[in-house]
Chain A
Amino acid sequence: MNDQQTPDPNQPEPEPGDSDAAQPARRKPGFFSRLFAATNTEVPQEPLADEAEEAEVAEAAAEAAEAAAEAEEPKRGVFGRIFGKKKKDDSAAEAPAEEPQPEPAAEFRAKKSWFRRLRDRLAATRQGLIGNLRAVFGLSGKLDEETIEELEAALIQSDVAVETTQRIIERMKASIKRRDRKEGGEVLFEVFREAIEDILVNSAPGFAPKTRESGPYVVMVVGVNGVGKTTTVAKMAKRCTDAGLKTMLVAGDTFRAAAVEQLEIWARRTGCEFVRGAHESDAAALCYDAMAQAKARGVQVVFVDTAGRLHTKSSLMDELGKIERVVKRQIPGAPHETLLVLDATTGQNAIQQVRIFSSAVKIGGLIMTKLDGTARGGVLLSVLDMFRIPITLIGVGEAVDDLRDFDPEQYAAALFGEDDAEKD
């Protein structure tokens, strides 16, 4: 699968004893392996060779503490590693240093068993895509009606859009025809992998604000109601403040009750500057003023949280365009990045959301939240396929550090990895 040192990569199903302190590098099952629900817990390591292990321990500890105490206090340092793309040196030094040293082992064990329970609960739904597909492709070894139907079932059950599903199948058919390959389970699998990789090519590396000398880097966050915009803004802000950037949060949701207060609490927790307006005041006017303040205060990164809006409400969509325009008037080139937040539990409607939001404002990337549930979020494949908008970040939990960079390679590896292959 990849060249990293995942412990026991060939061990299919970890036994209870595995949650031993001796194997700190074993983490919670990654999103990707869960997406396609392999029964093992291995997850490809992030390509950070030496600090990795210590950082893993630190992260595990953080997660464990999180689970145990349900503390909402921000944990410091963990993000350094994930943020490492930009500030590698700082974060590497910082991550282990700030974590209380003695706890990891014991805490980690608790965490493991929590995930074990979780996994056991899900045993029924964990019969994953890849496992399924190996079986499916082995049925007749041909892309016949039955195989196609089962393949459709597997993809659609992960919320991959019907259109993308059809296209994957068409690609597979074309590929088989073109190369006049002899069909068979393995060939089908290979062809399927090519089709998926074709789609994944469209992604890009994760979130890294490009701070500039000339003024703040402005990130605007948009999405329908209840997808987790405010929480996501807070998590991104945490990354920035951890990296030592002067960060500002702008409470652009002037509509929903207590949305401003929610962001204000996060600003306090993450140590960000904060700009708010009156309830039900004009969001665009607020943003205009906020940009002026950001410039005056020498802020490096600004996050504009916006009110949740259904994409079918044209007046609200127009408002987004207006915010975009006034921000640009204050800071040429801003917003430098507009991110659309999607909820992983959303079904086929997510496509419609992406379509309409991206016609209202220029969407630079997508964030998929709530991937810690049982939803498989297959919609991200569809989004890459149909819109070529990169997936920037994924949210895998409520804690402030549960926002990860989307890594297509990791995704593909998890999808087609060797240790996935041996099960079913």
Chain B
Amino acid sequence: MMILVNLDVMLAKRKMSLTELSEKVGITIANLSILKNNKAKAIRFSTLESICTVLECQPGDIIEFKI
């Protein structure tokens, strides 16, 4: 039972690299890879908002609840 981050799936769909996303969103690659590898403990609404804006998707496309 955990929350999974499917950032890599969304990045592949949009054909965008992590470096590109980090440049557009304004978050360091280190922090983005923490998020991508499911090591993050929390995510700010502002970060989620900017990622969703850049990737043109819903938060549900990035975050998934898995039992």
Q: Do A and B come from one complex?
A: no
A contact set with B: CB distance below 8 Å: none
